[in-house]
Amino acid sequence: MPDTQTPVPGATALVPATTGAAAWADRLRVPVAAGYVLLSAGFLATRASIPDRPYLMLWLLGLVVILGWHNPSRYARFAMDWLPVLVIAAGYDLVRSRAPSLVPRAMTDPQRDVDEVLFGGTAPTVRLQDLLVDRGTPHWWDYPAWLMYLSHFVVTPAIAVWLYLSHRDWFRRYAILILTVSVCGFVTYFIAPAVPPWLASRNGALAPTTRVVHSVWASLGFERAAQVFDGDARLANPVAALPSLHAAWPFMTLIFLWRRIGRWHWLLLAYNAAMAFVLVYGAEHYLSDILLGWLYATVVFIVVTRMLERRDAPRAETTAPAAATT
């Protein structure tokens, strides 16, 4: 039987042809990108000012997709792999930009009433702060709580980087899951803006509470950061509370990695519990916000996982016979 792996001297090496969507992408990438830029320039020429940052981020998102779609360049693949980060950043900024119009119609009663029913008439945030909060100066334990709250912006991206470097297939699924639950949250923020406990207290709809994150920033002398967490709708969206993405992201991480990292999953479980406590104690979220965040993560995980498995099933069926014959 001839050795099919040995090249024939003088023969021309066969290069797999680019077919299907990849071929169309190669042909159209440059003209489509050029048209996109020209149309954008024409649009800008008709305006008296540059669009706000959220729309510039969305424009950049479109350009990255055009240039990266089916692009074999490793730089393009890297940009497309991390595209969810840009989508989430653009989503956060878009929600923030619409905050002034969302605050007047934000709901207060449903999430507060659920917490009061579950805890005997008093929201757990109020109970915890009556025991642990000094309305004047933060206690020492408020600083670890502040760090736990801020870890939301570090832990999930750090896990994504670890997965990207060590388990690329896991990373792609994880990125899709985090992106999907975030987009679901953003859509809900537009449909049903919700007042968090600290703002409900400020509006007289809840017993007095303190936003611990704000008080810690102020005590450290970071006035700009303190202003961001003081309810100014021009700087951050104060009614993007239901569901809690601070709860949804770590819970999604937990259920995604539960069977993949052995006993380390108990550390993620403890992190979820600590984050939930800090969110309630710090008056950032009602417990109902957190429970809905966990529900969003669970539903997204089940639906997206099934869709990805269904998508990958034909590929697995075609590769299995080939593996059996080698």
Q: Is the pLDDT of residue 13 over 50?
A: no
Q: Is the pLDDT of residue 126 over 70?
A: yes
Q: Is the pLDDT of residue 4 over 60?
A: no
What pLDDT is attached to residue 53? Answer: 76
Average pLDDT over residues 211-218: 93
Q: Is the pLDDT of residue 326 over 70?
A: no
CB atoms within 10 A of CB 88: 21
What pLDDT is attached to residue 285? Answer: 96
**Over the stretch 88-112, which tens digit does the pLDDT of each residue have?**
988 888 888 888 899 999 999 999 9
**Over the stretch 247-293, which tens digit does the pLDDT of each residue have?**
999 999 999 999 999 888 999 999 999 999 999 999 999 999 999 99
- 283: closest CA among 121, 129, 60, 53? 129
Q: Which residues contact 45 (CB under 8 A, 6 or more apart)?
A: none
263: DSSP letter: G
Q: Is the pLDDT of residue 243 over 80?
A: yes
Share of the chain above pLDDT 90, in %: 55
**Over the stretch 19-33, which tens digit does the pLDDT of each residue have?**
567 777 777 778 888
Q: Is the pLDDT of residue 319 over 70?
A: no
Average pLDDT over residues 234-254: 93
CB atoms within 10 A of CB 281: 23
Q: Is the pLDDT of residue 63 over 60?
A: yes
What pLDDT is attached to residue 2? Answer: 46
What pLDDT is attached to residue 166? Answer: 94
pTM: 0.84
Q: Is the pLDDT of residue 235 over 90?
A: no
What pLDDT is attached to residue 135? Answer: 76
Q: What burial class does residue 215 get, using C-beta atoms within 10 Å of its C-beta: 0-12 exposed, 13-18 middle, 19+ buried?
A: buried
